[in-house]
Amino acid sequence: MTKMDDKIRAILARPYVRRLLPDPECGYTVTVHEFPGCIAEGDTAEEALSNFDRAAESWLAVCLAGGYPIIEPLETAGHSGRIALRIPCGLHRDVAELAQLDECTVDQLLAVAISEYVGRRMGLTQGEAAKLHGLTELPKIDAAVASK
């Protein structure tokens, strides 16, 4: 085993969150946010995770050989669900009006909007993102308003 292999194994031993998502086309897909472009698939969850480990080893070897930085694992604990957010007054007004039209609270509307954005970045549909983020009560979106 080389020094490079030891370094790669030490990096992979850090608490990186592997995201395992079912994919109707090919079984399962695995990614890690901190490893952009590193992705693996498999027919089963176990196969996808195993494939990811091999892909991550190759990805890390290229990064280390090229002198690219390796991002430390993201913090996954300590999130209360509470955010103090300052936004421009006009945006606040527009959000409040849309929330009223959709018969929901500003908090609900913002949670759905943020979930949709994050879900798109993760390659999820709106429904998949809402389920992943624990959103059970979605606003009643007026079709005429939504199409504008």
The pLDDT tens digits for 103-142 are 888 988 888 888 889 888 888 877 888 888 888 766 665 4
Domain region containing 112: 84-121
Q: What is the pLDDT, as a whole number, of residue 103? A: 86
Contact between residue 97 and residue 142 where contact means Cβ atoms under 8 Å apart: no
Measured CA to CA, the distance from residue 92 to residue 9 in angstroms comes to 48
Neighbours of 105 (CB within 10 A): 14
For residues 19 and 52, state if they share a domain: yes
On whether both 41 and 92 belong to a single domain, the answer is: no
113 token code pair: 């909007």
Q: Is residue 95 part of a domain?
A: yes
- pLDDT band (50, 70, 90) for residue 148: very low
Q: Has residue 139 been placed in a domain?
A: no
Pairing of strands 19-23, 27-31: antiparallel
Query: SS3 of 43, please?
Result: coil
Query: Is residue 58 located within the same domain as residue 7?
Result: yes
Q: What is the pLDDT of residues 80-108, one digit of tens each?
A: 888 888 999 999 999 999 888 888 889 88
Asked if residue 20 and residue 60 are part of one domain, the reply reads yes
> pLDDT digits over 42-66, tens only?
999 999 999 999 999 999 999 999 9
Whether the Cβ atoms of residue 119 and residue 132 lie closer than 8 Å to each other: yes
Q: Rounded to whole angstroms, what are the CA distances from 125 to 1, 47, 94, 128, 141?
A: 43, 24, 25, 5, 16
